[in-house]
Structure 1
Amino acid sequence: MSANSSNREDFPISPKLGKGLRLFFYSQLFVTPKLPTQSFAKQTVIVTGANSGLGLEAAQHFYQLNSARLILAVRTIAKGQEAKEYILRNNPQRSDPDAIEIWSLDLSSTKLTLAFADRVKTDLPRLDILINNAGINPPEWKVYEGYEQAIQVNVLNTFLLALSLLPKLEASATLAEKESHPHLVIVSSEAHRLTNFPEINAPELYAKLNEKSNFSQQPRYQATKLMEVLFTRELVARLGSSTRVIINLVNPGLCTSNLERNNGKPPTVLRLVRRILDRTTEVGSRTLVLGASAPASSHGEFQSDGANQDVEAWIYTEVGQRAQKKVFEQTLQILEARKPGIAYEAGLRDV
């Protein structure tokens, strides 16, 4: 038996595609997430990737629901300004435009990600909600700081930011209203159900993900969404009862957005299918806001349409537990190299 086949037996992942597709089609065709109504008065909210798509519409909901301070975290300040003007134009009932701020954040850069986190810790008296929405689904191979770009943005620096700001969220728990908790929301996807994640069988997961010959757009996107699920679940398990922050994952569903803006014009049949299935970005964005106001029962859970939903079945098995641990530990090694002491500061005392 070859070493490769032996490794493959370590993580025999078999997604139940039929069940996953049934969940997906039912949600897309027959369920509309409810309009969020809970007030965010007195709360400070950060939405990453807030200049367009789901992030922009989620930010608009937070503004409509009276967030005291709303940070639009964007790569391009000019686009952030356009987003702010869009929100203000659509919400003339509020007369406090200074409640919306535009901050620069580029998750392709570790230096800029950490600079953003430092600014949050210095400039914001409190942080009640962090929506980690920024993500990419690039068709081409590109490397940032030694890692394929979707891995860099969707996984590594998404969690670098999340762990860097977890202490700020924890500290803000004492400032929250009695019935409120700070929330850390990771925007994920049903796409996590669609991969058997062959890279997990390699001794060094990230080395395997960095092999250009193994790159393909949709399998890579699915892998990043699965890694988000696995890392988040293990993070919550290791934090245990020590955290007062509600950490959850949300699935906005398939939406008309600019996530695939670089993919070119799709075939006519696919465009017709998407016209039937797609949600608007406003409808999809409701799930992000619902996740930010979800109760403690959402902690560590995957939410679809504003309610807890099981992740893919194999994740609950012994194989899933080992995969979860491996993704977490090998990811944390990279994050520690980027910011020494990040695990301890985030409350992970025993790693």
Structure 2
Amino acid sequence: MSQEFNIQPHFGTALGTFLRSQYFRTPAYPTHSFANQTVIVTGSNGGLGFEAARHFYRLNCAKLILAVRTVSKGETAKEDIVRSVQHRTDGFEAIEVWPLDLTSTQSTLSFAERVKSELPRVDVVVENAGINNTAWQVVEGFEQVIQVNVINTLLLALCLLPKLTETRFKYPDSIPHLEIVSSEVHHYTKFPEVNAPDLYEELNDESAFNGMDRYNVSKLIEVLFVRELVDRMKATSPEPPVVITLVNPGLCRSNLDRSMNVVAQWLLYGFRLIAGRSTEVGSRTLVYGACTGPESHGEFMSDGQNQNVEPWIYTETGNKAQRKVFEQTMRVLDERRFRDSKADWGVALGSY
């Protein structure tokens, strides 16, 4: 494969930033009010999503949607949140559990359509659901980590963007936020797949699969896609109707590694015990990403503050890679949205 993109990450710099964040910075306990707002959190029956959902309810959001793969687990999470927030008594009405399976395009599109038809407003969407699987597995013709972390995560984002935009104009008190939960691991990949003529054909080639790098690649693709999306939106709308953020919660003691083999799970479990945060502390970053100002539109946030992405992304190589990732991803997403004629994001995106 020719090396059009010779990506050389700065591993030492990234590691230093990671260690300073994990050991010397703790995001403050959130106090921002979400009164009157409707908040959606994906992957919210456990871990980071669950703790973030608890914060949103504690901070008085009017409606909280727990978007989960297994409804029974979502109902258990709902009961826990209601019990733990003492100053509210409306939890069973204010919190709803909706099914969402990001391995399924139909589930993703159905969820988006339900949001548009049943919710009068949507102020915050936190796309937290994701997987880290080092074993090869294909779903709907795509490797599973890419299917979940990239394709259907971004499909859902674009399908909900018009509803968020509509909320901005219908409710002047609202500055809607679309948040993609990303990761610092985007710093740690050379992203060899981007050198292939067809990025997704290469990502779907089992012989080229690197299970230890795939999660890193998926998070880098999120970063590149969102940055390019925001650049193109700024060209037509300098004042964003929706603030789109990339949020890094840091290394947390979560169950993200549950799909990995037993040996890898134990190794990562030990590392998370030594260097990881609690999911409650990590979830604070998700809350900050949902109420930040327009200065964070298209930015990568850590510990509640904007942070630089990997340095090569700011170069001409980065610009070219960003455009390629965006254009080839949009081809996949366009094909999927046409499965449902109601999945129209043209108004929100303009001409991309």
Q: Identify the TM-score tier after normalising by the shorter chain.
A: over 0.9
Equivalent residue letter for 1:173: R
Question: What count of residue pairs does the alignment treat as equivalent?
Answer: 344
Secondary structure in structure 2 of the residue aligned to 1:122: helix
Counterpart among 254, 258, 261 of residue 261 in structure 1 = 258
Quote the offset at 1:156 in angstroms.
Answer: 0.3
Counterparts of 1:148 and 1:285, CA distance in 2? 28
| Aligned-pair CA distance for 1:343 | 7.1
1:100 to 92, 95, 98: 95
Distance 1:15 1:84, change over 3 A: same
For 2:241 and 2:311, the matched residues in 1 are separated by 28
| Equivalence for 1:244 | 241
Residue-by-residue CA offset, 1:280-324 (whole Å, 9 max, x unaligned): 000000000000011110001000000000000000000000000
Matching residue of 2:177: 183
Shift of 1:346: 5.0
- CA drift of 1:344 comes to 5.2
Indicate the residue corresponding to 1:338 in structure 2: 336
Query: What is the aligned partner in structure 2 of residue 166 from structure 1?
Result: 161
Letter of the 1:214 counterpart: A
Superposition pairs of residues 270-309 of structure 1, within 5 angstroms: 271-309=269-307
Alpha carbons of 1:272 and 1:79: their partners in 2 closer, same or farther (altered >3 Å)? closer
TM superposition shift of 1:271: 4.7
Contact 2:105 2:336 in 1 (8 A): yes
Q: Aligned AA for 1:244?
A: P
- List alignment gaps of at least 5 residues for structure 1: none
Choose 255-264 or 285-294, whichever is displaced more: 255-264
* Whole-angstrom distance in 1 between the partners of 2:96 and 2:155: 22
* 1:332–1:343 contact (8 Å) kept in structure 2: no
What are the equivalent positions in structure 2 for 1:46-125 lying under 5 Å apart? 46-97=40-91, 98-125=93-120
Contact 2:289 2:304 in 1 (8 A): yes
Contact 1:137 1:217 in 2 (8 A): no
Give the whole-Å Cα distance in 2 for the aligned partners of 1:65 and 1:14: 42
Deviation at 1:269, TM superposition (A): 7.1
CA contact (8 A) 2:128 2:181 kept: yes
Does the 8 Å CA contact 2:165/2:348 hold for their aligned counterparts?
no
Matched residue SS, 1:261 = helix
**C-alpha distance in 2, partners of 1:343/1:96?**
34
Task: Spell out, residue by residue over 1:114-136, the C-alpha distance to the aligned partner (whole angstroms, 9 max, x if none).
Answer: 00000000000000000010000
**How far apart, in 2, do the equivalents of 1:20 and 1:176 lie?**
40
**Aligned partner of 2:149 among 141, 146, 154:** 154
The answer to whether residue 136 in structure 2 is matched with residue 135 in structure 1 is: no
Matched-pair contact (CA < 8 Å) for 2:37–2:61: yes
SS, match of residue 260 in structure 1: helix
CA drift of 1:175 comes to 3.8
**Cα distance, 1:60 vs. partner?**
0.2
Matched-pair identity in %: 56
Q: CA deviation at 1:196?
A: 0.6
Alignment RMSD (CA, Å): 1.6
Query: Structure 1: how far apart are the matches of 2:128 and 2:54?
Result: 14
Alpha carbons 2:249, 2:302 under 8 Å: kept: yes
Q: One-letter code of the match for 1:349?
A: G
- 2:307 & 2:179 partners in 1: Cα distance? 15
Alignment-mate amino acid for residue 257 of structure 2: E
Q: 2: distance between equivalents of 1:271 and 1:26?
A: 20
3-state SS in 1 of match to 2:125: strand
Instruction: Tell me, yes or no, if the aligned pair for 1:117 and 1:161 is still in contact at 8 Å.
Output: yes
Task: In structure 2, list runs of 5 or more residues that go unmatched.
Answer: none
With normalisation by structure 2, the TM-score equals 0.94
Q: How does 1:297-336 map to 2 (within 5 A)?
A: 297-336=295-334
